Structure 1
Amino acid sequence: MNLDTTIDFDLKRFFRWWGGELAFLVPKSLLQHLRERHGSVIFTPSAQGFEVALLDDDERIVARRSVDVNQPDGFKQLKGQYPAMEKADFVLRLSADQALHKLLYLPAAAQENLRQVVGFELDRYTPFNAEQVYFSLIPLGSTEHAQLRILLIAAPKPRLDEQLANLTILGVQPHKVDYAPAAADFPQTRNAYNLLPDRFRRNGGKLGQSLQWLAGAALMLLLLAAMVLPVWLEGQAVESLQTRIKQLEKQNRAVDLQQSEIDALRAETQKLIDIKQQSPALLAVLNELSRLLNDETWLTHLHFSDNRMQIQGQSPAASALIGTLEGSEFFSDVSFVSPLTQDKTSGRERFQISMTVNTPVSIMQTDSADAADAESPDGGAEPISEPEPENTGEQGDE
């Protein structure tokens, strides 16, 4: 596209076309009240003047008369008989010998400045140049070869000026000039052009202009709403989503905090369980030790630390204690810490034995089952007993 090209855009013509298109959307009864003008008066040039036909809004002939230009009072009498002519549109309709029309085929690029292109080469299409005629161009669409179909209607200026001067003698200022053969050959172009020179055109009534500007303002508001409303709705949706996201983030932080607390409690619980599994229960160890030692054996000291236990005491046969203790699942690596000595008072042998304290397999399985129940969602956490403090002291007869 050539951006330096001047585009010929007739704003008044556009609004006339637009108003005509909008008129189809208005009920006929309402349109009759809104329109300032009703019906039309067709002036067809004749030998002595004009053939005048009064048409109603449905284009039905109400009256037809011949008017002589040399007798302008005849037209005044006709207006007196039909007061509706005061609000009718005056149309000068040219005959076949007063204008011409031709179908043109132009390249698509000519659409940007169509009037300048045709006006420059008008003498190729007609016997006249652009300065000798009043002409209008009506686009009729494109061909299958992407060419523009343009209807050219041209009227020589002397002939049209002569007819306009005759109408002025009758006291008539036309609203429109059209061409009868073009309307017959191309009915769709009937209201698409106006050969009336600009100096003869008059501004529309205030009501029509107000309606046009009101329709234009309404269209601009609708276009603005069509552009702004989706953006505003999207903004509202984004704000709603952001608010929802913030709420979810707040809930997620609370859940994460609770999960952190649960993980910390689980870690502490597992730590205690591990300590319990790694450290044998002293009550069971003491019970096992009491079961193994006979009634003749006394313990004077007992020390437990890091799964190692040392016991001191007296026994009639201290050397047999090593085998007895090693036969238990609770004890291993049983050995004397010092040589055996004889107690002169009691006659028993004094001993000091060191051994490793183990947790039997059966007890470990029981503890594992208890830990699994504690970690299950519906299982209660079993209280975990604290490790027994180191016990060093005398023990009586067993």
Structure 2
Amino acid sequence: MSGVRDTLQQFRARLGPGPRSFLAWWGQALATWLPARWRVLLGLTRDRLFFQHQGDELEMTWGEGTQRHVLARLPATTTPDDLRALLGSRLANLPRWWLVPPGMVLRRRMLLPAAAADRLRDVLRFELDRQTPFTANEACFDARVLGVREDGQLDVELAAVPKSAFAGGLGRLGALAGGLAGADVEDADGAPLGVNLLPEDARVARQAPQRGLHLTLAAVAVIALVFGAWAVLDNRRAAADVFAAQVESRADEARQVASRRQQLVDLVAGTATLNQTSAQRPTALEVMDDVTRRLPDNTYLEKLAIEGDRLTLIGFSPEASGLVARLQESPLWRNPALSGALQPDPRTRMDRFTLTAELLGKRDPANAGTQGGADAAGRD
């Protein structure tokens, strides 16, 4: 058995080093290609262990794609435990197949409708007694599709073995017959034909080793991915809330700035309007100067008030009734009139008067001269 172990060690070396960490396994699982050793561990490889009779021994070969590599020759008394101890935990999980000798199998090529592709085995069950001397209950059978013709028909090759001969050959495998995943046929070139003659109820489905651990790690990875996505989403929401608060704060500042700007515009407009209005009216000094020049010397004022465009004069004069005529010729106001009755003052022996007039805007000097000439002409 030392030569067998040496061969198996070489086989294990071809599978590559073991996994270093879960992250390495996860990264390689997402890749489009995987090392052979990983494909074996994850159950993603199509590699198989073939057993066939060689005299009183069993020849064990490794089927790697379309190639086969002889691993060892085992005694017919080898048990599954012996094989597992010999192969190790990794190689023992490769699916085991019986390679049926070509002389035991009846092969026929036949044409079937294209619709038979989805239910090929059921169709063969009805066609078996027409193509072979056996019925579906008397033979183990399977077929492979060789191609599709131009008219759409399927070119199919049927392989069938009588159940009695199949059971006899299977029995020569001894204790290893109970753990098979299938039974293929060796073609003329020594390669597997690509069929499975083993009845479905006798096939053993192989699972990847440490499947529970892998599923647990996958579940943990999915949970971590969901949690990470949720954390990213929550961070995005928090950032969005902060940004919205900043935008609202900037909007409030912008509104305040706009309000202050509007107040400033209103103030400037009001000031300009006030200045324009003030510029159109005579100043208080101009009014006082004109009043002083037009009132007689024996007239005294207690109050001179300018409220808007209204001029009010309150004082004492012995000629109070003639003051209206004196003030009518002024270009700074119009419609001078006494307000109320004259009140004699016994102390000063003058009449107390209240006189009001409506202030006018400033006039252009040329217009003022023209207007003054017109007023003089009218008086003449």
TM-score range, shorter chain: 0.5 to 0.7
Deviations, residues 237-262 of structure 1 (Å, cap 9, x unaligned): 23321232123223433543564466
Counterparts of 1:335 and 1:298 in 2: how far apart (Å)?
17
How far 1:233 sits from its partner (Å)?
Answer: 3.2
Select which of 105, 122, 138 maps to 1:132: 138
What residue is the counterpart of 2:237 in the other structure? Answer: 238
Q: 1:115 to 1:222 in 2, by over 3 A?
A: farther
CA contact (8 A) 1:341 1:351 kept: yes
- Secondary structure at the aligned position of 1:131 is classed as coil
What residue is the counterpart of 2:286 in the other structure? Answer: 288
The answer to whether residue 355 in structure 2 is matched with residue 356 in structure 1 is no
Return the TM-score normalized by structure 2.
0.54
CA contact (8 A) 1:322 1:335 kept: no
Counterparts of 1:246 and 1:322 in 2: how far apart (Å)?
69
- Secondary structure at the aligned position of 1:210 is classed as coil
CA contact (8 A) 2:52 2:60 kept: no
Deviations, residues 308-359 of structure 1 (Å, cap 9, x unaligned): 222244487735533442x13xx34444557999999999998653222345
CA contact (8 A) 1:332 1:357 kept: yes
Q: Aligned runs of 1:153-164 on 2, under 5 Å?
A: 153-164=159-170
Q: 1:323 to 1:145 in 2, by over 3 A?
A: farther
- Secondary structure at the aligned position of 1:196 is classed as coil
Range moving further from structure 2, 337-346 or 239-248: 337-346
Counterparts of 2:189 and 2:225 in 1: how far apart (Å)?
39
Deviations, residues 12-66 of structure 1 (Å, cap 9, x unaligned): xxxxxxxxx979955457789999xx98554268xxx6896454677344678xx
Q: Which amino acid aligns with 2:166?
A: L
Return the TM-score normalized by structure 1.
0.52
CA contact (8 A) 2:142 2:158 kept: yes
Q: 1:351 to 1:142 in 2, by over 3 A?
A: farther
Q: Aligned runs of 1:233-312 on 2, under 5 Å?
A: 233-257=232-256, 259-260=258-259, 263=262, 269=267, 273=271, 276=274, 280=278, 285-292=283-290, 293-294=292-293, 296=297, 298-312=300-314
Deviations, residues 117-174 of structure 1 (Å, cap 9, x unaligned): 5466454884455433334466889999999888765444233122113333xx6527
Unaligned runs of at least 5 residues, structure 1: 1-20, 65-73, 363-398
CA contact (8 A) 1:310 1:355 kept: yes
Q: Which amino acid aligns with 2:115?
A: P
CA contact (8 A) 1:140 1:149 kept: yes
Q: 1:286 to 1:315 in 2, by over 3 A?
A: farther
Deviations, residues 219-276 of structure 1 (Å, cap 9, x unaligned): 5555666677556534432332123212322343354356446656765x46964884
Q: Which amino acid aligns with 1:288?
A: E
Counterparts of 1:29 and 1:120 in 2: how far apart (Å)?
39
C-alpha RMSD of matched pairs (Å): 5.8
Q: 1:91 to 1:249 in 2, by over 3 A?
A: same
CA contact (8 A) 2:121 2:142 kept: no
Aligned residues: 308
Q: 1:194 to 1:335 in 2, by over 3 A?
A: same
Counterparts of 1:230 and 1:145 in 2: how far apart (Å)?
52
The answer to whether residue 203 in structure 2 is matched with residue 197 in structure 1 is no
Q: 1:248 to 1:290 in 2, by over 3 A?
A: same
Counterparts of 2:307 and 2:114 in 1: how far apart (Å)?
111
CA contact (8 A) 2:338 2:355 kept: yes
- Secondary structure at the aligned position of 1:107 is classed as helix
